Structure 1
Amino acid sequence: MTNFEIERKFLVATEWLVPTESPSSHLRQAYLSPLGSGNEIRVRAKGDARLMTVKAPDENGDPLVRREVEFPIADEVFEQLWVLAGQDRLSKRRWSVPLGGVTAVVDVYEGELAGLRVAEVEFDGVDAARAFEPPEWFGEELTGDPAWSNRELAARGGGRHPKPGRGR
């Protein structure tokens, strides 16, 4: 069954500090789909969970919506696919920050992308996503900009992530 991911993505203001009570987890992600293919195939390690995810653009072209299929995979399969992904990998610490009726997940990237902080907020529907008023600690909106996708960031790494101001 295909699920839908409805989210908005933002840079995080440099002066923002992670609230001490916010839970976090470490994630490792590797991308198996060709850069620019439109569809994204990735594997993720989060705690003891190993997942494969396939994401595709919305059939109607709405940048807020992506089709998503996700399922667990064995540790051995994850490790084999991690190696096959080559350099198209990234690691980050993900913080969950409550924002009233929704939760922002703030990704603080590690390694070659260290210093980059991005917030994503998922919604139950497109109307709720469009009505969302970001808090002051959110910076520039990145929703729908392929230069800021995790797939793109993993491929470029090395401090070559895009600069604010949309695009590359």
Structure 2
Amino acid sequence: MEIERKFTVRKLPDELEKYDYHYIEQGYLNVHPAIRVRKEDDHFYMTYKGAAGVVAKKEYNMELDESSYDHLLKKADGNIITKKRYLIPINEDAFSKEYLDTHADDAKAFYEGGIKIELDIFEGFFEGLVIAEVEFPSIEASENYNPPHWFKEDVTGRKEYSNAQLTKLDKFVVEKA
């Protein structure tokens, strides 16, 4: 189960270059349910994302080899998405002390670095789009999350921010801050 919230970004965090990142290319074979093929650095896989709640969705991944990925990517509908995904430690004030004191599993994930901000900086057709995603160990953690100041708007569940929906666009315009 993927438990995730998605946000637009007010400004990029300071010293972005110090964080690790992955280069991602992906295409969608189907939107409902979402079936995508993805290249992440030198790894290839196909993902099925089933429809569920707004925050939580079933997700299955299957590894592919490069030739299978290339073959399937040619069959993808719409725009191919390319982006750099920066892996940023969760903000220190992400959860209240009271919440962490009463939710041991979430606190463990928080203190051990198991919760990260994935900052996607899109390229190509979607250049200018920047989205931050946070995957949580529980629905309760997602509901109790305090985003950092550099996040702008919570767009979790908004169809127009879904990667699968983005691939269907004929044109793309970045909203100015």
Q: Is the 8 A contact 2:9 2:152 kept in 1?
A: yes
Residue in structure 2 matched with residue 14 of structure 1 by the alignment: 11
Distance (Å, rounded) in 1 between the aligned partners of 2:160 and 2:142: 21
* 1:159 CA displacement: 1.7
SS of 1:72 mapped into structure 2: strand
1:136 to 124, 144, 149: 149
Q: Is the 8 A contact 1:89 1:155 kept in 2?
A: no
Residue in structure 2 matched with residue 118 of structure 1 by the alignment: 131
Q: Is the 8 A contact 2:11 2:151 kept in 1?
A: no
SS of 2:164 mapped into structure 1: helix
SS of 2:58 mapped into structure 1: strand
Find out whether 1:64 has 2:55 as its counterpart. Answer: yes
Q: Give TM-score, length-normalised by structure 1.
A: 0.85
| Identical pairs, percent | 29
Q: Deviations over 1:132-158 (max 9, x none)?
A: 000000011110111110011122163
Could you list the runs of 4 or more consecutive aligned residues of structure 1 that deviate by over 6 angstroms after TM superposition? Answer: none
Residue in structure 2 matched with residue 5 of structure 1 by the alignment: 2
Task: Kindly name which structure, 1 or 2, has the bigger radius of gyration based on alpha carbons.
Answer: 2
Q: Is the 8 A contact 1:112 1:157 kept in 2?
A: no
Equivalent pairs counted in the alignment come to 154
Distance (Å, rounded) in 2 between the aligned partners of 1:105 and 1:57: 21
Q: Give TM-score, length-normalised by structure 2.
A: 0.81
Q: Which amino acid aligns with 1:11?
A: T
Structure 2 gaps of 5+ residues are: 93-109
Residue in structure 1 matched with residue 119 of structure 2 by the alignment: 106
**Alignment root-mean-square deviation, CA:** 1.8
Structure 1 gaps of 5+ residues are: none
Distance (Å, rounded) in 2 between the aligned partners of 1:160 and 1:137: 21
Q: Is the 8 A contact 1:5 1:122 kept in 2?
A: yes
Q: Which amino acid aligns with 1:90?
A: I
